[in-house]
Structure 1
Amino acid sequence: MRYLKQAATVAALTATIGLGFSTPASAADSDYENWWFGCNYDSANNFKFRIHYNSNLGGDYRNIGYAVYDFGYVYQGPLKYCGFKSSGSGQNVKNNAASARNTHATYTGVLYYNSGYKGAADYIWGTVNQLEATYNDNASFNWKS
């Protein structure tokens, strides 16, 4: 009986510690989606925001469908441009964006200067050929209604 109580206590403690270190499911899921499916060119998907390495929607791109708290760490590391052998190919998205396009019918895409949706921001509805507040200084992204 004594060993049964000890085993139950250890199991409860382990579960409690595990909950303390877990990431919210929604954040983890959206990071996974942004990481794996952000290079699909098909605009019919959920990724309605496209960020470009160069001005005038030039160079490599990355599609973003969900909020990104920090471009420097998503799912398995920094979010990178897709790698289509154009300028910016394989580079980190963080602090490397010059233009963007938002094709979402309802929401404005917001690029922030700092991680955590803070600091100066560019509000993108339609096409922005050259970012202003976050030109090569972009750290996070969110949607705004």
Structure 2
Amino acid sequence: MQNLVNALAIGFGVGLNAVIAFHLGAGEKEAADTAATHGFLFSILHGIIAAAVSIPIMRPFLKMFTQSENVISLGVRYSTIVFSFSIVIMISLAYEKIFQAVGRMNASMAGLMTGCIVNIILDPLLIFGIGPFPKMGIDGA
């Protein structure tokens, strides 16, 4: 399910990238700015819709794969946290594609690297409760 949200975000971002690059190539800076603004706003809307659709259907979705109530409960708990951040995922991918469209590949790469490094550092801290962080188990992932 999370891959579906990512695929939607990437697909929308690629389209946004193409529209912005098209307008910039045609010398239509104002149209490119408008496309970027609309793309950003639609990313917020897509994130809200993705969360609103994904969270309620997780229990039936997981029941198709297991009958273990413990697994379903943990999966629903984890996916609720993950899908609550669908807006952030959609916005970050839109920004990544906007930076790529205007030729700022270094900014796009730096954003991706920063996100990966923060995730690598915070995952064990939040999962196992290292230092000032509470032990959150699967919720910390």
Rg larger in structure = 1
Q: What TM-score do you get using the length of structure 1 for normalisation? A: 0.26
Higher helix share: 2
Higher strand share: 1
Q: What TM-score do you get using the length of structure 2 for normalisation? A: 0.27
